[in-house]
Amino acid sequence: MKDQMITVWPIDNPDANQARKDSCDYAVEHYDLNASEAAIRDARLQQANFDGEGPYLVGWSPSNVRGAPDKLVLVIDMSADNNQALIDQKFLFWKKQIVDDPSRWRNGFSVESVRAAIRIFADQYGQAMLDAIKLLGEKKL
């Protein structure tokens, strides 16, 4: 569907019954490190920096710009998050400001649109959120 942002948690067997039931325990136990490393490699082609321990949320829109040096990649770095509440806030940003608002990515990420989403969310969740979100590629935030 045109207005659907797919968020993928890379797992080694996505067809397993527990995966289809969105079992969090299964997802963690069957995390696909190779798929994650491939996403990081592709984002690095777009000037992304992964110096922290992670975890990271990485997104491309449209998906076929993955790894294209002149396109934008959205990276949310949760390396500095030392409690579940901070991590939950960043996942909430991803859901409310990215996934649930197709106008922000329907024609590809735009610096202006993502910047507006970050401001809205930062007003609610503070400077730590703003420091952790990076949009890299052709134009910098």
Of 4-13, 29-38, 44-53, the range with the lowest mean pLDDT is 4-13
What angle do the packed helices 84-93 and 111-125 form, to 10 degrees?
140
| Predicted TM-score (pTM) of this structure | 0.69
Count of residues making up the chain: 141
Ranges of beta strands (E only) in the chain are 56-59, 73-77, 133-136
Q: How far apart are CA 65 and CA 36, in angstroms?
A: 17
* Digit-coded pLDDT (tens) for 121-135: 777 766 666 666 666
Q: Locate 103 and state its tokens.
A: 């106008």
